[in-house]
Amino acid sequence: MSSLEELSHRHEDEAKLAESETVPRGAPILELRGLQKKYGLVEALKPATVTFLAGEIHAIVGENGAGKSTLIKLLTGVIRRTAGEVFWCGKPVQLATPTEAIKRGINAVHQEVVLCAHLSVAANMFLGDEMDRYGLMRKGAMERAAQAVLDDLGFLLPAGALLGSLTIGQQQLVATAKAAMRGIRFLIFDEPTAYLTRQESAQLFRLIRRLRDQGVTIVYISHRMEEVFELADRVSVLRDGTHVGTRLISETNDNELIALMINRTIEQIYHKEKVPIGKTIVETKGLSGPGFEDVSLTVRSGEIVGLYGLIGAGRSEFALGLYGRQPLSAGEVFWDGKKVDIRNERDAMELGIALAPESRRDQGLCLNLPIGLNINLPIFKRLSSGLVIRKGDEAANADQQIRNLSIKTPSRRVLASAMSGGNQQKIVIGKWLSHGARLFIFDEPTVGVDVGTKAEIYRLFGELLKKGAGIILISSYLPEVYELSDRLHVFRGGRLVASHDHRAASHEDVLTQAIGI
Amino acid sequence: MSVETTTESAPAPKKGTNILLGLTLLGLLLFLWLLLGLSTNAFWSPNNISNLLRQGAMTAILAVGQTFVIITAGIDLSVGAIVGFTSVIVAWLLQAGVPLWAAIILTLLMGVAIGAFHGFGIVRMGLPPFIITLATLTSLRGIGLLITNGSTISINHEGFTNFSRTDFLGVPSLFWMVILVAIPAFVFLHLSRWGRYLFAVGSNAEAARLSGVNVNRTIYLAYILSATCAAFVGLLLASRIGIGNATQAEGWELQAIASSVIGGTSLFGAVGSVHGPLLGAFILATINNGANLLNVNSFWQRIITGLLIIVIVYFDQLRRRGSR
């Protein structure tokens, strides 16, 4: 018996519990019947019926926002379902808490590593389940055992090293090894290779196959088609919160899956105002900085320039670089044809650039401050005489933006944290409407907002364009950038890899370029 | 994709709750005064009231400065040490024959310099506010003791030492100093855009930065204001006790933080006012004063102060959660 199997059967009582709930390989281990999740009125997952078989690798694919994360959270007990039934080994179960999911042997390895950076690799692998004798930890024994597992898996990692000293990819491998040690039955991987090198991915795949051969059911979520075809036995496709089909990997191909992933029904939402395109506002030449390299593009007045790519493709980094938040390492920026030097955010604002950043929570809003203060934050200078704020103007501007954007609040004094995702996004946008910028950068403006709010945000784009502004629209949601952009640039690995005029390329081509098959 | 917490029922407007807390604290202060007035004869004597106002005045000014820093989600542990240190500086300058006006200005500039150093440590060196101000706390006392060679410098400037004993319109001059600080502080925090920036930086520095707020300058400003308030208190203390001594004002930083927190300032930043810490400081001063009059063991005063901090902040938390 190898060291991994030995450790995974360390706790006899748990093994017994697990044995009472077994199904033969190939039989349904987890069945979802009409599983549904609603947040308020928003249906994050429409009633889905999916069966997972014992000992299979079941891939789940779908665009960002298709409902993959919601599904994982439901399966791991992080959130509770709104409706539907879940059967585990043929018996109905609640899966109401993470503890219940873990007790049944359901575990997840997340994209973001949730381990303690300041503890050793071995300490992390045994965290919460330490080996002890007379209440004292057996550090040496744990380190030896952990090293045996790592060697067994061929990971070539030192068990005594601090976790924080490893790369993100190596940390991901440790997290996987930790999950594998716990005698799991059902393991979910959420885009595990996002930060892995090719070699690390290969190690991970070996481990996944080995777990499958031991009878563990694997759910593998990924954007990368080639991985799905390399690993999976079956694949389920989600689109806009709907489960649109499950296929045997041997009976499907890239094109069918991509066609299933892309929504063709709600194109009418993506209505772009027809505005005559004017002079060039900004031009970048060979712009490079942290996370992006050699990006050259132009934005003209009246134009939406879309930046499409997977998460981490360098689009947001480019935006932050252009906005002066990140130092540029090479390249030039021309504003109205003149070379400019953007050293910080205030330089960018001075020129007339506005940025609605990717994360409302971390970058966009002061959540525990009133809506009014958030809206006025970029323009307090204009609302003040000297240093003293003209209270009347302050209130008037906030109220005007609240009305203009139909932000649903009784007062500008309500805290931003009390607003829903869609209304929060409107506050972020409202900040920049009164600023009077000429180039608007919207980074994922419609993540976590419902369809109605999306349509309102697109209508605002039209108004900005009519006033002669240019827009850079960053989105991971293809239909959005595809339909709205006058010009669409595709990013991959920090570089601009392809450019298309409005609707000049097919969805399939764009997706293929972004994924890089 | 992140899960949005959707709370459709909006909380009561923030401004309303701010005033509510202020009124509650004012009510508590008046209640304490009434209670002490009924239970002791001496409390309402003009002498005692002047004394109370003098006691509270210095903590109140420190607490206002401290509040600016806490609103940016920082902390200034050095204010007590600055008070002791600047009392030495002004005594030293006066002893050296520097004219009074110049001595006062130089002492206040010393406060500005110390605050700028804190800003430098936080912004440029990336040190946590707790650490950099803790470091100045201990070093300033050391420098002060070096200057005085471990003893005190007495101040022989009559006008300067008499100031703390004078009254104006029947109110002690020291209390007028609170008003002198509080009014510009109020204008700064609640009416000026730099005040808004303090809140924004304390709430979400990254969002503030991306909105074009000069975050570094805002942090410098907060610590300079706090240290300058402390240097001003150093002048007042030197005037009151007539000496410069680096070991004075031991633990005043904690009094200032306590006053600020009792006054509704959130140690997580972005919540605070000017009237809150003022009321907090005078509540603490009243408790000390009342305990003396009632002959309560001074050790008990400390315990009561501790309990009061827990009770007031706990109820404030409840109220905040309730209004969500």
Domains and CATH numbers, chain B: 46-322 (1.10.3470)
Handedness of CA B199, B203, B205, B210 (dihedral sign): negative
At residue B121 the predicted structure's pLDDT band, cuts being 50, 70 and 90, is very high
Greater confidence, B256 or A311? B256
| Chain B residues with beta carbon closer than 8 angstroms to that of A366 | 199-200, 203-204, 207-208, 270
- Residue A77's region, left for phi above 0, alpha for psi from -120 to 50, else beta, is left
Given an 8 Å threshold on Cβ–Cβ distance, is A380 in contact with B214? no
Q: Do B13 and A366 touch (CB under 8 A)?
A: no
Signed CA dihedral, B107, B108, B111, B113: sign only: negative
Beta carbons within 8 Å of B128's beta carbon, 6+ residues apart = B122
Find which of A82, A380, A382 to mutate to test the B interface (most B CBs within 10 Å of its CB).
Answer: A380
> Which parts of A77-167 fold into alpha helices (H)?
98-103, 121-125, 139-152
Q: How many CB atoms lie within 10 A of CB A118?
A: 9
Q: For residue B6, is pLDDT > 60?
A: no
The span from the CA of A243 to the CA of A48, in Å, is: 6
Interval B152-196: pLDDT, tens: 898 888 888 888 888 888 788 899 999 999 999 999 999 999 999
Instruction: Tell me, rounded to whole angstroms, the distance of Cα A488 from its chain centroid.
Output: 21
CA distance from start to end of chain B: 24
Structure tokens at B158: 């009559």
- State the complex-level ipTM: 0.79
**Distances from the Cα of B319 to the Cα of A438, B8, B28, B227, angstroms:** 44, 19, 16, 32
Tokens of A177: 């090894």
State the count of interchain CB pairs (< 8 A) between A and B.
122
- The tokens describing A88, both together, are 């585990």
- Give residue A462's identity as a one-letter amino acid code: G
Report domain A265-352+437-517's class.
alpha beta
Query: For residue B196, what is the nearest residue in chain A, using CA coordinates?
Result: A373
The answer to whether the CB atoms of A370 and B212 lie below 8 A apart is no
The residue with tokens 């994982």 is: A72
**Structure confidence at residue B5 as a pLDDT band (50, 70, 90):** very low
Q: Minimal Cα distance from B197: which residue of A?
A: A377
pLDDT at A265 over 50: no
Q: Which of B10, B193, B203 sits opposite A368 (nearest CB)?
A: B203
The H or E element spanning position B40 is none
Give the minimum alpha-carbon distance from B282 to chain A in angstroms, rounded to a whole number: 28
Q: The tokens of B52 are what?
A: 């109370």
Strands A217-221 and A186-190, sheet pairing: parallel
Predicted local distance difference test score (pLDDT) of residue A2:
66
- The phi, psi pair for B306, rounded to 5°, reads -60, -45
- Cross-chain Cβ contact A362/B204 below 8 Å: yes
Interface mutation target, options B18, B192, B210, chain A, most CBs of A under 10 Å: B210
Q: How many CB atoms lie within 10 A of CB B113?
A: 13
**Of A264-278, B74-88, B102-116, B248-262, the least confident:** A264-278
Q: β-strands A304-308, A353-356: how paired?
A: unpaired
Instruction: Return the number of other C-beta atoms located less than 10 Å from residue A213's C-beta.
Output: 10
User: Residue A148: which of A139, A138, A158 has the closest Cα?
Assistant: A158
| Angle between helical axes of B79-95 and B215-241 (0-180°, round to 10) | 60
Residues in chain A: 517
DSSP A29: E
- CATH fold of A3-261 reads Rossmann fold (3.40.50)
Distance (Å, whole) CA A291 – CA A304: 23
B217 contact A CB<8A: no
Among A345, A361, A389, the residue with its CB nearest the CB of B191 is: A389
Q: What is the pLDDT of residue A287?
A: 93
Least Cα distance to A105 among A179, A11, A177, A189 occurs for A179
Hunting for tokens 């650039």 — which residue is that? A353
Question: What ranges make up the beta strands (E) of A119-192?
Answer: 132-133, 136-137, 186-190
Region A18-38 average pLDDT: 81
pLDDT over threshold 60, residue A343: yes
Q: Which of A363, A388, A414 sits opposite B206 (nearest CB)?
A: A363
Q: Which of A4-8, A18-22, A187-191, B201-205 has the lowest mean pLDDT?
A: A18-22
The CA distance from B130 to B96, in Å, is 35
Tell me what percent of the residues of chain A surpass a pLDDT of 70.
92
- Strands of the A338-340 sheet, one edge to the other: A292-300, A280-289, A330-335, A338-340
Q: What is the DSSP letter of A252?
A: -
Taken in order A479, A481, A487, A489, the sign of the CA dihedral is: negative
Give the residue range(s) of CATH 3.40.50.300 domains in chain A. Answer: 3-261, 265-352+437-517
Return the number of other C-beta atoms located less than 10 Å from residue A205's C-beta. 18
Answer yes or no: is pLDDT of A304 > 60. Answer: yes
Distance from CA of B64 to the nearest CA of A (A): 19
A111 or A163, which is more confident: A163
Average pLDDT, chain B: 87
The 8-class DSSP code of residue A473 comes to E
